Amino acid sequence: MNPSQPSTAAPALNGADLLRRLDRLEPSSAHRRLMFQGGLGYTFDSFDGALMGYALSAVIALWSIDAGPAGWLLSSLYFGYLIGALGAGVLADRFGRRRLMMFALLIFSVFSLLMATATNPTQLFIWRALSGIGVGAESVLVAPYISEFLPARYRGRFVARTVGFLSFGYILAGVVAAVVVGPHAETGWRIAALITALPVVLLLWWRKSLPESPRYLISRGRLAEAEQVVRRFESAAPAPQSAHAGATRPQQAPQDDSGEPAAAGPQASSAPEPAKRPTVAQLAALFGPGLARRTLVLWLIWFTLTGVNYGFASWLPTLLVTAKGFTITKSFLYGLVTALAQVPGYYIAAALIDRLERKWVIALYATGATLSALLVALTGNEVLLLVGAACLAAFINGSAAAYYVYTSELYPTAIRTTGMGAASAVGRCGAILSPIAIGYFYSVVGFSKVFLGLVGLLAVAVAVVTVFGEKTAGHSLEHIESRTA
């Protein structure tokens, strides 16, 4: 080629420009497909957790397991959750979101099938804990993965609606428990374990076409791959937006809903990230400049709300049988009603999430859960008990729609899933300790005082998020990151 001739080479790719193109898009079928596939993952996660909670309550009765050891068995899933959440969060920031999501589903399926073969509490504990590694990894990756595809003005409601798919798993679990476990508990709990694994195998096959997160690819300097993903979403966008996509579009900085330009942030650079940090350094970065307060606030939110949620969900069927004299089938029907109550809980939160600051939605829902737990603790009326339990389920689960969104926004791309994984792992510590503590305290202080203890924990969460929580609504992920500089 003659050096004097003008070059026809394509302009060099730029990470900041790719982010601008991504943030200009309107929601499309590609975004909705991501939401649906991620939401199905949450549905199967909650379906497994709730259905096996029902199944294990039957096992506890069938095998005559005492309250203390029963608490450990009910917490077995959450030991795996903790390992899976923390490990997947760190690994997904090093090796990519998509790869870890697929691996998580495979782990869950294998050990759920093995769980059906258990012949004693020790075996059941082991297989349940190992299957929990897959569940914990999956649950921690979906929200940050989806958030990295979405512009600021739509991110809250899309991620919250995705998290809302958790409610459908609880409902499905209530139906399956009443049909499969309740009438024939001796064999029904094993069939339940098989049922939890089979839909996940189908989801594993369906997800094989998922793209990698463009923000993750940009943060690693893999701009050509990121550009392919951005083009894929531009091609699916509504005509007015896709018509302006591409390199020739005006280079106008994206803006937050507040009208201020969104900072590009370190991950917008076209240069690759430095060498991958060791795991300890990756976790230490959560307490880096501008992040320590965020991390501590998030950890308290996750520990409290997740602990109360899983303690309540794990023990409610058993407490209704042992403390209130319900039959197993009747306790399952109460569980189904509380599961149905979660649907408005999640989707009202999704409607509020872009109208109010995330922290105010979390505080509002934690306050509602506090009042509901008081009603459960103090009432002796079956109808009021059902109302209180349903409201507690709606508020405590619906709050997840807000704090999943909130957590996925507060960390830079380079440590986003590490931050989400660490917060979720702390939440799993609450999920582990809560059923165990309820098991021991229930035998000493009784049903009412157990729920009064949950009230105190919720009140602390309300106070902390109100005073120390940061504002993120309407701001791009890059602008939120720039505030840590």
Residue 227 lies in a domain: no
Residue 129 lies in a domain: yes
Give domain status of residue 448, yes or no.
yes
Mean pLDDT within 122-150: 89
How many domains are contained in the chain? 1
Q: What is the pLDDT of residues 148-170, one digit of tens each?
A: 898 888 888 899 999 989 888 88
**Is 425 domain-assigned?**
yes
Indicate the pLDDT class of residue 65, thresholds 50, 70 and 90.
Answer: confident
Model confidence pLDDT, tens digit, residues 227-252: 999 999 988 877 544 434 444 343 34
The per-residue pLDDT for range 191-217, each reduced to its tens digit, is: 988 888 877 777 777 777 889 989 999
Asked whether residue 253 is domain-assigned, the answer is no
Residue 286: pLDDT band with limits 50, 70, 90: very high
225 within a domain of the structure (yes/no): no
CATH code at 156?
Answer: 1.20.1250.20
pTM: 0.77
Listed as own residue / partner, the contacts of 118-121 with beta carbons closer than 8 Å and 24 or more positions apart are 121/59, 121/63, 121/65, 121/69, 121/73
Percent of the chain with pLDDT over 70: 83
Domain ranges, residue 132? 17-214+279-482
Bridge-partner residues for 261, per DSSP?
255
Mean pLDDT of 136-152: 88
Is residue 288 scored above 60 in pLDDT?
A: yes
The three-point CA angle 439-459-313 to 5° equals 35
Q: What is the pLDDT of residue 423?
A: 92
Sign of CA dihedral 37, 428, 348, 145: negative
Query: What pLDDT sits at residue 440?
Result: 76
Residue 274 lies in a domain: no
Chain segment 434-463, per-residue pLDDT in tens = 877 777 777 777 666 777 777 788 888 889
8-22, 60-74, 408-422 — which is least confidently predicted?
A: 8-22
- For the segment 261-269, the average pLDDT, to the nearest whole number, is 42
Residue 386 tokens read as: 């059902």
Rounded Cα gap, residues 233 and 240, in angstroms? 14
How many Cβ atoms are within 10 Å of 77's Cβ, its own excluded? Answer: 29
Average per-residue pLDDT for the chain: 80
Is there a domain that residue 166 lies in? yes
- The pair of structure tokens assigned to 3 is 């050096």
Q: Which of 365, 363, 394, 391 is nearest to 376 (CA)?
A: 391
Mean pLDDT on 31-51: 87
pLDDT band at residue 179 under the 50/70/90 scheme = confident
Q: What pLDDT, on a 0 to 100 scale, did the predictor assign at position 245?
A: 40
Distance separating alpha carbons of residues 453 and 343, to the nearest angstrom: 26
Query: How many Cβ atoms sit within 10 Å of the Cβ of residue 459?
Result: 15
| Residue % of the chain over a pLDDT of 90 | 12
- Radius of gyration (C-alpha) of the chain in whole angstroms: 23
In whole angstroms, what is the distance from residue 96 CA to residue 225 CA? 13
pLDDT at 326: 62
